[in-house]
Amino acid sequence: MKQINFIGSSNLSAPVKYMINIDEANKRITTVGLLDVTDSREADILPDADIEPWATHETAVTAHSASMYYNRNDFGADSLQQFFNNVPDQDASDVFRIAWKCTLDIDTLGADEWCDYSMLNVTTRNGGATFVGVRARLAESRIYKGDGARYRAHGDYKHAVCLYVPFAKDDFANVTMDILAVWEYPPHIINGTADTSVNENINPPTGHVWNTRFWRVEQTSAATVAAGGFVDIPLHLEWTVDDTACSEITTLKIEPVNGYAPSARVTTAANGQAVCRVGALGLVAGDVVKMKVNSHLMQNLGVLTATVT
């Protein structure tokens, strides 16, 4: 995992603690939602014998499940107690119960879910207490082009875990994980550590995700083309966070605005560079060939131009 961030909030209504087991070798992430029931009637009527230390069952509860989209209640252990105290980073006497469990396995994801420039969310409702499923935000929102806030409002979604995937490789090496929870309930991460923790009770600035997690396409040098002729426009990838070279292989989609593109696909070399052949067919001197560059899910990653001479 490239980076793990905990973003705390006071805007989530449910006191849920996320227990997250990261299995890098097998490309799986299991998230368990534990709901604090300390002050509820549900906890008051439980015999003490039914409340056991979290550590006693951590391995069984956080074991990976083959059914990643379902609200799991059996957890593969017939005798497993579902109420716990001594939960990490919480008051030892506080009582939690298992609300839901989800295993995200990248080997079982679809082409619109695990791909370059994708965002995967372990999604909930009711402030984290009710599990919805694993959702690919860009794949679902590209039809009506809703921004992040609009997308969440559309289904009353709350994201427990967000995975930002600039390049969908066969591992999590370049993936950033954001965990969103109530500030008083920091996530417990197995086989990983949070790199940053932010008490974020306001919305981050517009474009924060795009400007810190992903990449863009830049034209390497200016280009000219004769009317009716062709030219190769050089391009390269850059990380949006610091404008440094992004040395990765990816396939870009070329969308003509003015002019002609013989190929609608361009694949970068290992150094993140490529050329895009364009034509000035039907254009005259003074016109500008213009190509919009997209990825599989994301549009407007860059613009390529050539002045017609």
Domain limits, CATH 2.60.40.10, in the chain? 215-308
* SS3 label, residue 41: helix
Give the span between the Cα atoms of 173 and 165, in whole angstroms: 10
Q: What is the model's pTM?
A: 0.87
Q: What is the pLDDT of residue 135?
A: 83
Q: What is the pLDDT of residue 126?
A: 79
Give the span between the Cα atoms of 181 and 187, in whole angstroms: 8
With pLDDT > 70 as the criterion, what percentage of the chain qualifies?
85
| Predicted confidence band of residue 208 (pLDDT cuts 50, 70, 90) | confident
Q: How far is CA 177 from CA 8, 36, 154, 160, in A?
A: 14, 24, 23, 10
Q: What is the pLDDT of residue 204?
A: 56
Find how far residue 166's CA is from the centre of its chain.
9
CATH topology of domain 215-308: Immunoglobulin-like (2.60.40)
Q: What is the pLDDT of residue 170?
A: 93
Provide the edge-to-edge strand list for the sheet that holds 230-239.
215-219, 230-239, 273-279
Give the span between the Cα atoms of 118 and 165, in whole angstroms: 5
Q: What is the pLDDT of residue 128?
A: 86
Q: What is the largest CA-CA distance in the chain?
A: 85
pLDDT tens digits for range 170-194: 999 999 999 999 999 999 999 999 9
Residue 287 burial (10 A CB sphere; 0-12, 13-18, 19+): middle
| Predicted confidence band of residue 73 (pLDDT cuts 50, 70, 90) | very low
Query: In the chain, which residue ranges form alpha helices assigned H by DSSP?
Result: 41-44, 54-61, 137-141, 148-155, 208-213
pLDDT tens digits for range 131-170: 888 888 776 655 445 555 555 556 567 889 999 999 999 9
Q: What is the pLDDT of residue 76?
A: 45
Q: What is the pLDDT of residue 110?
A: 86
Which whole number is the average pLDDT over 10-37?
91
pLDDT tens digits for range 212-227: 899 999 999 999 999 9
| Predicted confidence band of residue 210 (pLDDT cuts 50, 70, 90) | confident
CB atoms within 10 A of CB 8: 19
Q: What is the pLDDT of residue 261?
A: 97
pLDDT tens digits for range 79-121: 445 789 999 999 999 999 888 888 899 988 888 889 999 999 9
What is the average pLDDT score of the chain? 87
Residue type, 232: D
pLDDT tens digits for range 244-270: 999 999 999 999 999 999 999 999 999
Q: What is the pLDDT of residue 15?
A: 92
